[in-house]
Amino acid sequence: MIRKHLVGIVLAAMATTAMAQDAAPYTVAEGNKVDAKTMTGWRTWRAAACERCHGANQEGMVGPSLIEGLKKYTKAEFIGIVVDGSHADRGMPPHPFLKGEKADGLYAYLKGRSDGKIAPGKVFPME
Ligand code: HEC
């Protein structure tokens, strides 16, 4: 009984990993070494000071947790909220200056945080 349950957990974990690998917009090693795009995302996160409202570890403050938030939206929806300000009426300011690779990077970085693959805090370029 317990054994059967464990097999289920392992299979579910494998399926989740496979899905994450198919879809992952980021590459990460050892929790904090990331590819160039994700690095741009981290720098953009810091420069735009998203943490003022969403918390240094993306877990929410005035604004909601982005660990949870990134599970709800496609990349296009994310960009709509962050860049175009589609939630501006609810307190999320538009950031038109983040268009393009900065928004791409932000999505990659936050997706990695939401997936639990990127550790909280500073990240570093991969070798
Ligand atoms: C002035 C405070 C503030 C700043 C700065 C801010 N946000 Fe927000 N953000 C909010 C609030 C408030 C909401 C909730 C809006 C709503 O209810 O839909 C939100 C919502 C969001 C959502 C949707 C979350 C969800 O669960 O629906 C995303 C994604 C998001 N913000 C990303 C960012 C990013 C990335 C940055 C930095 C570029 C940023 N925010 C900067 C206040 C802020």
pLDDT in tens, 25-71: 999 999 999 999 999 999 999 999 999 999 999 999 999 999 999 99
Residue whose CA is at the smallest distance from ligand 1 atom 29: 78
* Joined tokens for residue 81: 């909220």
Share of the chain above pLDDT 90, in %: 81
For residue 93, the CA-to-ligand 1 centroid distance in Å is 7
Asked if residue 31 lies in contact with residue 118, where contact means CB atoms within 8 angstroms, the answer is yes
- Cβ of 92 closer than 6 Å to ligand 1, yes or no, is yes
Atom 24 (ligand 1): residue with closest C-alpha? 69
Task: Specify whether the CB–CB gap between 108 and 25 falls below 8 A.
Answer: yes
Residue type, 33: K
Q: Report how far residue 125's alpha carbon sits from residue 3's, in angstroms, rounded to the nearest whole number.
A: 41
- The residue contributing the CA closest to ligand 1 atom 17 is 90
Q: Check residue 127 and give its pLDDT.
A: 77
Are 109 and 48 within 8 A, CB to CB?
A: no
